[in-house]
Amino acid sequence: MASDEANLRAAYEKAEEAIREILALESDDSGDAHILNEWIVVAAEQFYRDDESYTKVACIFPPEIKIPYYRLLGLLEYAAARIRKDITDDDDS
């Protein structure tokens, strides 16, 4: 059990490191300091059981950081609003 906890913690650290790297690569390169306050990952996985397909959606965030629900929902709602904008901006109708 302890090794599972250590492996999980190491995986979360790798995830945060990857997020920091992505943000640095996508930054505006203005030279301003960038601080990662909070992060969440929304993931979907497909699995099969008894000849049926299921999709599981998980919201992943670091367990040691307690993100208040209003901040968590704010992050998700903001991301959803950006996606909706991208969809409507690409609409040729």
Q: Categorize the per-residue pLDDT at 53 as very low, low, confident or very high, splitting at 50, 70 and 90.
A: confident
Copy the structure tokens of residue 79: 């991301």
Polymer length of the chain: 93
Q: Phi, psi at residue 41, to the nearest 5°?
A: -130, 130
What is the spatial distance between Cα 47 and Cα 50, in angstroms, rounded to a whole number? 10
What is the spatial distance between Cα 33 and Cα 93, in angstroms, rounded to a whole number? 41
Q: What pLDDT does 91 receive? A: 62
Buried-exposed string 46-83: b where 16+ CB fall within 10 A, e elsewhere: eeeeeeeeeeeeeeebeeeeebeeeeeeebeeeeeeee
Side chain identity at residue 3, one-letter code = S
Show me where the domains of the chain are located. 1-36, 37-93
Q: Which residue has the higher pLDDT, 78 or 28?
A: 78
Q: What pLDDT does 66 receive? A: 78
